[in-house]
Structure 1
Amino acid sequence: MSVSGFSAPWWFLLLLVLAALVGGYVLALRSRRKRIMRFTNLELLERVAPRSQGRVRHVPAALLAVSLLLLTFALAGPTAEEKVPRNRATVMLVIDVSLSMEATDVKPTRLRAAQDAARSFAQNLTPGVNLGLISFAGTATVLVAPTTEREGVIHAIENLKLAQSTATGEGIFAAIQAIESFSAVVGGAEGPPPARIVLMTDGKQTVPQDEYAPRGAFTAAGVAKQKNIPVTTISFGTSYGSVDIEGKQVPVEVDDASMREIARLSGGDFYKAATAEELKKVYDDLGEQIGYEIKEVDASRPWVALGTIVLIGAAVSSLLIGQRLP
């Protein structure tokens, strides 16, 4: 029964009443003892007075005090942190499909490993989260608009096709636009749902080459920050990857520095994945972060139940020990 706070702590003032009752009980015992000591005929006292039950006779009163303490605790409204599924959130999954994803440094290929991990992410994401999919190479394409239906997203992931160039900025801009269009429709009185972009790429932006250009990745990350849409980046691959282009092995090293900077500029997080297993773990961690949120919930029920049980125990023990209710 962990407790993180109280919604109505003023109920703890009842503890003063409880303290007064305990003090009155102690004073009553002392007063009774004094009256007994005034009885000078001890032989007659032993015959007419009930046999002393020792400390056992205090059990009902002690249980009553404990029950009142527990019930006061419950009245104070204890709260606890609880992980609950999100029912309002938008996630755009943005996947690089440039030719470098054909590299085999991650088995069987970077693209196949990315598809497997992304599919698992989509399948296990909390049902209430709206998930969309964008692929990008030289341009960006919105394959699936945000939706709670997972079959379309999974089908699109399975059918990703490789293309030339890497326009990372275009992928981010397309995701921002998709999120804003969706939020305009479902926003309602509560405002737009919280949104996040998950960007997975294995290489450096090539279109345009300047990442601070108007359509560059760093510029797009800044726009995402202004619109309160953090970009979580996953740098996927190794430093020794290469692809065959017209019979030549062309190195396709990952660009961790750029991915880290995109995450920083947008207020998101950076992840590094050099193997299929690491990528799957990243997506699993993201599923936990995105699909659930920590909320303060009422935690008084266990204290009410325990206080009631102890109160019943006080009544039963009083009947068994003193043949009367406390």
Structure 2
Amino acid sequence: MSFADFASPMWLAFLVVVAALAVAYVLVQRSRHKHLLRFSNLELLEKVAPSRPGRYRHVPTALVLCGLLLLTVALAGPTSEKRVPRNRATVIMVIDVSLSMKATDVEPTRFDAAKAAAKDFADGLTPGINLGLVAFAGTASVLVSPTINREETKTAIDHLKLSERTATGEAIFTSLQSIETLGAVLGGGDQAPPARIVLLSDGKQTVPDDPDAQRGGYTAAREAKEKGVPISTISFGTTYGTVDIEDERIPVPVDDPSLREIANLSGGSFFTASSLEELRKVYDTLEEQIGFETTRGDASRPWLVLGVLCTAAGLALALVLRQRLP
């Protein structure tokens, strides 16, 4: 613990006084011991001097000094990092609804598992976070504008429908626009609330072909970085997934590299999941990252309680052992 961890470090100077009292007590005890040794008639001393509690007589004073030390630290206002729920943030949950999500390499299908985990994620977020929903295939649509109403989001998840192609860049641009709209309403004259995009996909972008194109995923990720909106991407599925389209079996392996790059370009995090259980764990991790923030708060109470208890114990013990206060 450093001086920066105290709200009022100047109070720590009082520790010098506590140390001085401890030194003074030791010197006084030594002085009294010398005076007693000068009393030559030890037999008479034993008759006139009251019985002494021995070395235990120092315990009450030690407890009181320890209490003063702890109370001094409490006065200095120690602080510590604390995790507190966010009550002002925006999260856009983006779900890929392209036809590749019909793959059954994840039971029962990628699509059904993604919907189940997404609803769990919505329920697990702290109540103060505004959650929005964007679905994308060949285009992207805002199905639910950011809101604290989780039932609205879960209902929209239940009604998701699959479609052709994958426009990852459009999904990100649409999410950024939704965040800006809410920020203009909630932010007012103050800074807009922090925001994040959570994007789940299983395949490579197909619209446009080049992710560095004007509306491509990499371009959108760079814009998200400029606007301070990190993107947490989830690559969902396996490398051996297939779908049947018009009596033709088509391989639909997950595309980790592009989703990892989107996360890196935006300053976000990349995750993989190949089962419903793994996906739920990823969402649990994101709930912790998004739903809580670390702040420095007052940590003086334990020092105060211990200081009072030590001081009280020292005084009580002094009355028991010596019939007087130290």
**1:153 corresponding residue in structure 2:** 153
Amino acid at match of 2:133: L
Letter in 2 for 1:250: I
Deviation at 1:123, TM superposition (A): 0.8
Match of 1:171 in 2: 171
Q: How many residues align?
A: 323
Task: Give 1:242 shift.
Answer: 1.2
Q: What residue number does 2:11 align with? A: 11
1:18: Cα distance to partner? 0.9
Report the AA paired with residue 63 of structure 2: L
* Secondary structure in structure 2 of the residue aligned to 1:138: coil
Counterpart of 2:321 in structure 1 is: 321
What does 1:1-326 align with in structure 2 at a 5 Å threshold?
5-326=5-326
Q: Distance in 1 between matches of 2:45 and 2:250?
A: 107
Per the TM alignment, residue 109 of structure 1 is displaced from its structure 2 partner at its CA by: 0.9
Per the TM alignment, residue 279 of structure 1 is displaced from its structure 2 partner at its CA by 1.0
Distance apart, 1:133 and its partner CA: 0.2
Whole-Å Cα distance in 2 between the matches of residues 44 and 190 of structure 1? 83
Counterpart CA distance in 2 for 1:244 and 1:59 is: 82
Equivalent-residue separation in structure 2 for 1:148 and 1:90 (angstroms): 10
TM-score norm. by structure 1 comes to 0.96
- CA offsets 1:293-318 (integer angstroms, 9 cap, x no match): 12222111111111101111111111
After superposition, give the CA deviation of every residue in 1:276-296 in whole Å (9 maximum; x if it has no partner): 111111111111111111222
Provide the C-alpha distance between the structure 1 equivalents of 2:43 and 2:231, rounded to a whole number of angstroms: 89
The one-letter amino acid paired with 2:154 is I
Instruction: Report deviation, 1:189.
Output: 4.5
1:80, distance to aligned residue in structure 2 (A): 2.1
Larger mean Cα displacement after TM superposition, 255-264 or 291-300: 291-300
Q: CA deviation at 1:174?
A: 0.3
Q: Within 1, Cα distance between the matches of 2:295 and 2:98?
A: 40
Q: Which runs of 5 or more residues in structure 2 are unaligned?
A: none
Quick check: 43-52 or 93-102, which moved more?
A: 43-52
1:244-275, Cα deviation, whole Å (9 max, x unpaired): 11100011111111001101111111111111
2:58 counterpart letter in structure 1: H
CA-based RMSD = 1.3
Residue 44 of structure 1 and its aligned partner are, at CA, apart by 2.6
Runs (4+) off by over 4 Å: none
Q: TM-score, normalised by structure 2?
A: 0.96
* Uncovered stretches (5+) of structure 1, i.e. residues with no partner: none
CA apart distance, 1:184: 0.7
